[in-house]
Structure 1
Amino acid sequence: MLRRSALLTALAALLACLVWTPAPASRAAPASAAAGPCGVLASGASAAAERAVSAACAQVAAGVWYTWGGGHGPRPGPTYGQVDPTDPASEHDPERLGFDCSGLVRHAYAEATGSDMLDGVASAQYYTHRAAARFTAAQGLGPLLPGDLLVWGNSRDLHHIALYLGAGRMVEARQSGTKLMVSDVRLGGDYYGAVRIDPGPVTGHTVQTWGSGVWTKEQPATSAARVYAFPGPTTVRVACQKHAEEVTSDGYTNDAWSYLPDYRAWVTNIYIQGPAWLDDVPTCTF
């Protein structure tokens, strides 16, 4: 999918993940992409992951539409979409009950677990503190199991997400003007990697951030490369903390930084709710 302007990307992040914008010659491709069985196509997945796949496939079988922003209501489930001003194919989305990519993932795991555990856009779902394992693009499909979440984009902007079925296939809400479909996994382009969801109790130290647009960093320093910005208060898992560069921001000064394993990044403790040095969180040894 081609990236949109920074302004439209920010707007879409508040609503849902962005839609694919293929070249004109590929506009008809989704009809054939929907062919083939939708279901668990490999062994080894957890019971919850298999139920998530079944829930997503039930929506495919029902002929549910992609709708821009769909599936992000107060509760999981299809909702009427919105018009994407950059995509003429979305003109009927406000008339259709459906899902966008992250709305479908949210619904699938809510049906599978009885908990709205993946509420949010594609980036929030990928960086969830409920991750059991993560896989890079370089690892390909070899280690993946049905129910794993595939994502596209980069660390700052993950714009599409889908559920893996096995055998190189996935179920996705792809773009306006199409219905939910089964597709071959697209490993080229900006495929970023995958995450496996653990629906059980969360392990490790979880805390809540505050503020909006708070960047995580590759190293515990303000000059380090940016990784991901929290759009708002976010539950995160902290592995450890250390004293590093002193930061002054929003009326606070602190030299403590926390390492967030789900982001493989650091954040200043200023933006973590709680004391300046987090209780019961060990000191990093790296």
Structure 2
Amino acid sequence: MPFVAILGAGPLGGALAYALASRGRFDEIRLIDAEKTLAAGKALDILQSGPVDGCSTRVKGSTSLDEAAGAWVAILADPVNPDPLTHLAALHRRSPDAIVVCADAGHGVVMSRAVATGAVAPDRLVGAAPLAVASAARSLIALDVDLSPALVHVGVKAGTAPGACGIDWSRTAIDGVAADAALQRERQHRLDQRLAASFPPGPLTLAAAAASLAEAAWFGARPTFPCWWVTDGGSGAPRVDVLRFAPGGRARLVTPPGTGAGLAGSGAGR
């Protein structure tokens, strides 16, 4: 039975469990949190909303990491104390064949540590924050130019601050026109500032990105996804790379060599 294990039942974990349950691709969602009845309460709330949403996905709450054993996809959601690396390694040990998705915008550092220490193999670990940033950027640009976000394609690159991402204007297009031709530099700079001021993305945006990535990572998908990916053995910060997923969690790098930037949009990778 295909199921997803989510570690952390805070605002991000709860939103992520609801997003995955409402999509209905996985048979079961297991929400795990050490805080007594937190995961069980949120799981019950999602189950009770199912008849209204027309959703029949099973959602289970637990305090035990053992519930993650055999997961198809394991997701590290809300910040876990005292050391998220310990929990990330525990997730991987219980489901060594699963793709591990780091959903929070602050998970870049723990991803590098996980690979550097051998806690998680680099080809089983991806971060969803760049996809969330791309979604936020598409919305900001669309509002600024008064177009649908579906007509905006955004390139994403690593930011100057640790764990941050920004817009790669050289790989961004608006209604089929290169952003460098469609927007003056001053306007691009203003949008960069607005995006930086809104970082990190909120839990709903991060949850939507992680849910899309979790589905693509296991079932495969034609679109490409900008993700954090550790390619240097964990010696530095994760790169922002474009990945395409085949069924079973097999990721293929499609970023042009040396760019270190990802592209997201309604038609990206199709």
Normalised by the size of structure 1, how large is the TM-score?
Answer: 0.26
- Which structure has the highest helix share of the two? 2
- Which structure has the highest strand share of the two? 1
Normalised by the size of structure 2, how large is the TM-score?
Answer: 0.27
Larger radius of gyration: 1
